[in-house]
Structure 1
Amino acid sequence: MHAASEKAAEAVQAVQIAAAMARAVELSQNGPAWGVNPQVGCVILGPDGSILAEGWHRGSGTPHAEQDALSRLASPALARGATVVVTLEPCNHRGRTGPCSEALVAAGVGEVYFGVDDPGVESAGGARRLDAAGVPVQGGIAANDVEQSIRPWLTAVRAGRPHVTLKWASSLDGRAAAADGSSRWITGPDARLDVHARRSRVDAIVVGTGTVLTDDPALTARGADGDPFAHQPVPVVIGLRGAPLDRAVWQHPERVREYRTHDVAAVLADLFAAGVRSVYVEGGPTLASAFIEADLVDELVVYLAPALLGGPILALGDLGVASIGEARRLSITSIDLLDADVRIVAHPAPVRVPPTIATTMKETDSVHRNH
């Protein structure tokens, strides 16, 4: 009976921790999606599984989620022996705030559960610090959900470059503009509002000089009323030609970053060094194709209008694909209707490498020996 009771208690705790992690992921989304810091949520549970406090990270220079949650306890004494559930491994370095691992140890918490390992070179190691201090710690809780909630930040830190979202709008037959170059507006108001909402969640918006010359975009993020969002992405212009000073982009509230190059990888490296962790590439076709050909696209957001244009102005240019076997395959994340338009969100599909003859022979030999 004692063993059965222990198993029942463990099952109940597992449910409580899973529920707390789901809540922590939800809380994390209250923080800014842009910037060098990730969105993190934290829930502190009492001995009976009840929520004692919640917290989330509100941006660079503010308390991290664990410290925010600890500060919201009715009494500091409640932390002793409590269970801490946090989306990202507690950090282990001193930046503008102290290490969360040290704060948890000092508070006397009983155990810590987290979703995903911190990939940062300087900030990782919190789990080891907690374990060394005698605090039981377990990672991998609802890891897939946490990964999706902060995927841009994780991608950036792991790859050492900003997460890249590539967007374009086209007619159903893949044209970015009519034969005379006109493109306003291919899609309707709902699609355009969705674009602005996505702009407001990234660090930078990237276009080519050709787009600046042809469309004269402001590159700001605006709401349905036309007013700008509080956060504005940094405007980035790539191309050998400079953007004329009479273009709207120069009126942007953030400083324009111009790169007189076609080397998009070098641009991303420089942006990452400047603290940019996510970029939204809006074109045009030449720039979009350059990012795809360089394998530097993490997500695609494509808006398709129910219209046919024909003509030579395609949404993408040459990608170096000579045959169907070289096609760049995608995995579709979602397909949604925005009024009359279709929004498709996708990401590059993992490359499947056919097994070599040597690998096949080795596997066959292993099967034979095991039987």
Structure 2
Amino acid sequence: MSSTEVEHVAPAELSALRHALEIARRGPAGGPNPRVGAVLLSQSGEVLGEGWHRGAGTPHAEVAALVDASARGTDTVGATAVVTLEPCNHTGRTGPCSEALIAAGVRRVVVSVADPNPVAAGGAQRLRAAGVDVQTGVLAAEGRELLGAWLPSVERGRPFVTLKLATSLDGRVAAADGSSRWITSEVSRHHAHELRTEVGAIVVGTGTVLADDPSLTSRNAAGELHGQQPLRVVVGHRPVPVGARLRGPGGELIEIDTHDPAVVLARLTEREVRHVLVEGGPTLAAAFVRAGLVDEVHAYVAPVLLGAGPPALADLGITTIGDAVRLTTRQVLPLGPDVLVVATPEPASTMEES
């Protein structure tokens, strides 16, 4: 946090913002809307109310905090609202939070992250126009981390794409006979199911559907379905068989008759999907990489050697090492006998300079 932020923010406001970041995580991670938390403070720094966004169609965090304050019987006139994301300034499924704060008599608003969504942005400007003191950019790094994939999705105008790979140490996703259960350990598979809880859609190709008959559900350690399930998206020209597990319990099944990753993301953008997990085989994975539409790679690597079998990626058309797709490692996490490597592709300009 910069010295400028310290000069303009009271200790009680910083404490409230850290609490707002914490309670925001109670909201759903895979929905179309961001996780947001809000805390209302009296002029003496006492908590008047708090709230978080519980999902699309429910009150936003600021309104939830105002409702909580009302239930406590506290007066919000002259209060400070501490919010993890700039209050919205538009009417969607709910009304504008900026107007709700003004109507409640809030005199000051402390914000972590400015809203990059052009539809919802402008709340800080509206508040200032009404005479409300607004401080933005407080604990911004923590605020951006909380928003996760939602933030780059809004900034890029398409879903954030995570490519998941589960391979042997020599980069194979299956043995020569096609068998692949299980290359990675139960610990890795459980971690992968937790990742599924954070996304809005899981994407595979028709080849994977026909070969593996996956269910593409998000389950807990006991094998039970989580309450909120991602969309199950199948890409390709062949239909999903009538008796496929994809037609069983789980998220909605969507079949997209294309091989173009950009078309897939456009369709999912229309569905307000913010985070996509690509779990398809080598062909689909390579298509997304070639299109430059992979934002993050989760590679689960098992200490297994196969020597033959399909690789993690199909041909990328790369013939020389200088053209290799290079990634920056962000995290290395041991998972039982396996290792998870989280990496992000380097920008094209960086790769060209190297």
TM-score > 0.5 by shorter chain: yes
Task: Show CA shifts across 1:122-157 (max 9, x none).
Answer: 211100100000001121111121112112111222
Contact 1:219 1:252 in 2 (8 A): no
1:180 paired with 2:177, answer yes
Contact 1:127 1:137 in 2 (8 A): yes
Alignment of 1:1-371 (within 5 A): 13-73=9-69, 74-77=72-75, 79-353=76-350
* Structure 1 residue 163: Cα displacement: 1.3
Task: Show CA shifts across 1:73-93 (max 9, x none).
Answer: 23342x122221111110001
Contact 1:13 1:49 in 2 (8 A): no
Give the letter for the 1:70 counterpart.
L
Contact 1:199 1:221 in 2 (8 A): yes
Cα distance in 2 for partners of 1:285, 1:267 equals: 17
* Structure 1 residue 283: Cα displacement: 1.4
- What is the SS of the residue equivalent to 2:279? strand
* Structure 1 residue 323: Cα displacement: 2.2
- What is the SS of the residue equivalent to 1:43? strand
- What is the SS of the residue equivalent to 1:206? strand
Give the letter for the 1:155 counterpart.
P
Give the letter for the 1:93 counterpart.
H
Contact 1:67 1:103 in 2 (8 A): yes
Task: Show CA shifts across 1:15-35 (max 9, x none).
Answer: 333332222111111001122
Larger Rg: 1
Give the letter for the 2:224 counterpart.
D
| Greater displacement, 16-25 / 191-200 | 16-25
* Structure 1 residue 51: Cα displacement: 2.7
Give the letter for the 1:295 counterpart.
G
Task: Show CA shifts across 1:218-242 (max 9, x none).
Answer: 1111111111111111110011222
Contact 2:87 2:123 in 1 (8 A): yes
- What is the SS of the residue equivalent to 1:311? coil
Contact 1:333 1:345 in 2 (8 A): yes
Aligned to 1:359: none
Identical-residue share of aligned pairs (%): 52
- What is the SS of the residue equivalent to 1:72? helix
Contact 2:215 2:250 in 1 (8 A): no
Give the letter for the 2:65 counterpart.
A
Contact 2:217 2:251 in 1 (8 A): no
Contact 2:124 2:134 in 1 (8 A): yes
**Which ranges in structure 1 are unaligned for 5 or more consecutive residues?**
1-6, 357-371
Task: Show CA shifts across 1:289-322 (max 9, x none).
Answer: 1111111111211101011111141011222333
Cα distance in 1 for partners of 2:249, 2:116 equals: 34
* Structure 1 residue 11: Cα displacement: 5.0
Q: CA RMSD in A?
A: 2.0
Cα distance in 2 for partners of 1:300, 1:231 equals: 23
Contact 1:207 1:236 in 2 (8 A): yes
Task: Show CA shifts across 1:148-169 (max 9, x none).
Answer: 2112111222222111111010
| Greater displacement, 337-346 / 43-52 | 43-52
* Structure 1 residue 61: Cα displacement: 1.4
Contact 2:173 2:180 in 1 (8 A): yes
Cα distance in 1 for partners of 2:278, 2:11 equals: 41
**Which ranges in structure 2 are unaligned for 5 or more consecutive residues?**
none
Task: Show CA shifts across 1:164-197 (max 9, x none).
Answer: 1110100111111111111000011111111111
Give the letter for the 1:318 counterpart.
D
